[in-house]
Amino acid sequence: MQAPTGGLIGAIEAGGTKFICALAQVDGTIVARARIDTRTPAECFPDLAAFFHQASAAHGPIAAFGVASFGPIDIDPSSPDYGTFTTTPKPGWQGARFHDVLGPFGAPIVVDTDVNGAAIGEWLAGAGQGARTLAYTTIGTGVGTGVLRDGRSLMGFSHYEMGHIHPAHDRTLDPFNGACPYHGDCLEGLVAGPAVIKRWGTSLDKLADDPAKIDLIGGYIADLAANLVLMHMPDRLIFGGGVVKAPGLIEAVRRRTEARLNGYVSHRLLDPGLISYIVTPGLGDDAGITGAIELGRQALIG
Amino acid sequence: MQAPTGGLIGAIEAGGTKFICALAQVDGTIVARARIDTRTPAECFPDLAAFFHQASAAHGPIAAFGVASFGPIDIDPSSPDYGTFTTTPKPGWQGARFHDVLGPFGAPIVVDTDVNGAAIGEWLAGAGQGARTLAYTTIGTGVGTGVLRDGRSLMGFSHYEMGHIHPAHDRTLDPFNGACPYHGDCLEGLVAGPAVIKRWGTSLDKLADDPAKIDLIGGYIADLAANLVLMHMPDRLIFGGGVVKAPGLIEAVRRRTEARLNGYVSHRLLDPGLISYIVTPGLGDDAGITGAIELGRQALIG
């Protein structure tokens, strides 16, 4: 794909509460940035268009767009519905399409999930640097994982939905039934922020003085980590999101993952204690927009 | 990669009890074929070399080799140990390398796992035709899964080891501790042929008149199927191997997978009852050698 190499990249990190918009140079330098509250598309999209029109007028033409968005959303570039929200319960968003608002700029548009975007950001400039296969998981309001190979996100007929795998949940040890409306005790139903609050009435970071609770949650997350190893063999696993900030949690995930695998997978990447294998993000809140800019850059280089 | 388009493809399906060797035309037509018992490399490799020398003398020069092998084996083409068996307990095989026996023929060599080879065979000419993302699982002496994207196998730092994921195993309903020496009740430890025999003293096909046993095993396999959906989103899941031949098992896997996902993943590919989504192999015993020939063809076309 040919494109003006001197053009700018329009980037959007679309989240459930806010959109971060940026105009950046191809090297990633941000020249304009804005925050727009997430409302319905009819309310947000005009604000998005206005930002990019104004920023482009000030800084130059936009050569490509990169979008890292909440979902579920069609991220298959070969699909006629590419960039369209699918079966989301979020009012107004089902059937909305980023191309509706960005198409008039006449630049190529790359759309991926929020978690794939964060993975790409971390791969480019954060804790995922140097990893050929990288898994990035966020554990917050929900649970999601993106997997990259050589900096490109993997998918099947749709993006992954790893938050809904079922960890081993022994009700004789843990009678909590889970909080997922679809599955009860799937991973998201056991470890996401709302599940922790439903179970204990407070967030996990307030429970750091209760090692048994930290270990319980860490053990469920470790089932995802072990499954990621066995089913994707990533070079590194990054775990981010609000729940992971609870003191002691990442250590519990490492310990329980190592116990789960029990030496079966032997490779120099899985260091003793998994200290350098299971890590937290390096970019903090900038991972998503960094990844969105990189998605735009990938649209330029094809 | 340039290669003589009129050349022949040497193919090996390397299994724990036998090697199937074939010389084939680029269109897949087999012109010579042999079976060699699996022994140590010092015993097998001369037989392999002799077969290909004789077949090539009769039919023409070999332009590429494709190998679909038991493992664990290094299948990363960029690795210096590509094609080398790693930590196998199989006597004599650790450190053995297909390039040692095939290298002297001077043709490019592509090495992949047995299950990736079978997946490629099914994708090309069997039950996986038309699937962009395809998962092929064998459940026999062991459990293994290969995943393809556009006919090429996926991997991370190594090939996948999905047989060792942990399905949800409620010991109050099923007190069997499993048979895996590493993990006890991982999937392989619950559903592979030796685990079934350890538990019930006979193979699963002899237990077809006991729906509860079929459903129990089907439920564990369904955990892998659901994880495959959530973690790879394949267009289709193929389940083969001796255990899957037990009457009623594939139906149990479909039923339990649908219950596990509980409508969360909505897509036309997941038809009601998963009849066309979860299927058995189309090529039977020919999947592996068909895939090995295709691996050789991929070496030719680069």
**Averaged confidence pLDDT in chain B:** 95
Q: Is the peptide bond before B72 cis (omega within 30 degrees of 0)?
A: yes
A156 touches B: beta carbon within 8 Å: yes
Q: Put the strands of the sheet holding A152-153 in their side by side order.
A: A152-153, A143-149, A133-139, A236-240, A278-279
pLDDT of B4 strictly over 80: no
| Tokens standing for residue B196 | 């079934």
Q: What is the CA radius of gyration of chain A?
A: 20
Q: What is the pLDDT of residue A147?
A: 98
Return the SS3 of B208: coil
pLDDT band for A69, please (50, 70, 90 cuts): very high
Q: Are the beta carbons of A183 and B232 separated by less than 8 Å? A: no
For residue A5, name the pLDDT band (cuts at 50, 70, 90). Answer: low
Give contacts of B 188-207 with A, CB under 8 A: none
Collect all residues with Cβ–Cβ distance below 8 Å to B291 and sequence separation of at least 6.
B13, B66, B68, B112, B116, B117, B118, B119, B120, B121, B122, B124
CB B78 within 8 A of CB B111: no
Scanning B96-248, the segments in alpha helix (DSSP H) are 98-102, 114-125, 187-191, 193-200, 211-232
Q: Locate the chain A residue with the closest alpha carbon to B164.
A: A230
Q: Give the pLDDT mean for B175-180.
A: 96
pLDDT(B1) > 90: no
pLDDT digits (tens, 9 = 90+) for B93-110: 999 999 999 999 999 999
**Which one of A164, A177, A228 would you mutate to disrupt binding with B, by most B Cβ within 10 Å of its Cβ?**
A164
What are the CB-based long-range contacts (under 8 Å, 24+) for A173-179?
A174/A216
Closest CB to B233: pick one of A149, A158, A266: A158
CB B95 within 8 A of CB B59: no
- Rounded to an integer, the average pLDDT of B233-255 is 97
Of B155, B229, B264, the CB nearest to A183: B264
Q: Which residue has the tokens 């079978």?
A: B118
Do residues B262 and A183 lie in contact, with contact meaning Cβ atoms separated by under 8 Å? yes
Instruction: Dig out the tokens for B23 from the structure.
Output: 């010389």
A-chain residue closest to B171, CA distance: A170
Chain Cα centroid distance, residue A82: 18
| Of A230, A260, A262, Cβ closest to residue B160 | A230
Hey, are the CB atoms on B157 and A266 less than 8 Å from each other? no
Residue A159 in contact with partner chain B when CB distance is under 8 A: yes
Cβ neighbors of A180 (< 8 A, separation 6 or more) are: A164, A186, A188, A189, A195
Largest CA distance in chain B: 63
Other residues' Cβ atoms within 10 Å of the Cβ of residue B273:
12
Cα torsion B168, B171, B176, B181: sign: positive
Q: Is the peptide bond before A72 cis (omega within 30 degrees of 0)?
A: yes
Complex-level ipTM: 0.95
pLDDT for A3 equals: 41
CB contact B94 to A (< 8 Å): no
R_g over Cα of chain B: 20
Q: Are strands B8-14 and B18-24 parallel, antiparallel or unpaired?
A: antiparallel
Whether the Cβ atoms of residue A137 and residue A224 lie closer than 8 Å to each other:
yes
Q: Are A227 and A127 in contact (CB under 8 A)?
A: no
B223 in contact with A, Cβ within 8 Å:
yes
For strands A8-14 and A18-24, give the pairing.
antiparallel
Compute the distance between CA of residue A108 and CA of residue B2 in angstroms, rounded to an integer: 34
pLDDT digits (tens, 9 = 90+) for A150-188: 999 999 999 999 999 999 999 889 999 999 999 999 999
Mean pLDDT of B11-39: 96
Rounded CA-CA distance B102/A261 in Å is 35
Minimal C-alpha gap between B175 and chain A (Å): 13
B186-218 pLDDT, tens digit per residue, is 999 999 999 999 999 999 999 999 999 999 999
Q: Does A144 touch chain B (CB under 8 A)?
A: no
Query: Is residue B13 predicted with pLDDT exceeding 70?
Result: yes
Tokens describing residue B282: 């189309």
Please judge whether A183 and B87 are an interchain contact, meaning their C-beta atoms are less than 8 angstroms apart: no
Quote the pTM value: 0.96
Q: Which residues contact A212 (CB under 8 A, 6 or more apart)?
A: none
Residue pair A153/B265 in contact by the 8 Å Cβ criterion: no
> How much is the average pLDDT of A198-216?
97
Residue spans of beta strands (DSSP E) within A61-120: 62-69, 109-113
Q: Does the pLDDT of residue A33 top 50, yes or no?
A: yes
pLDDT band at B3 (very low <50, low <70, confident <90, very high): very low
Whole-angstrom distance, CA of residue B82 vs CA of residue B76: 6
* Residue among B233, B127, B253 at smallest CA distance from B187: B253
Q: Which helix (H) or strand (E) covers residue A43, if one does?
A: helix A41-59
Show the 3-state SS of B265-276.
CCCCCCCHHHCC
Report the distance separating Cα A80 and Cα A31, nearest Å.
32
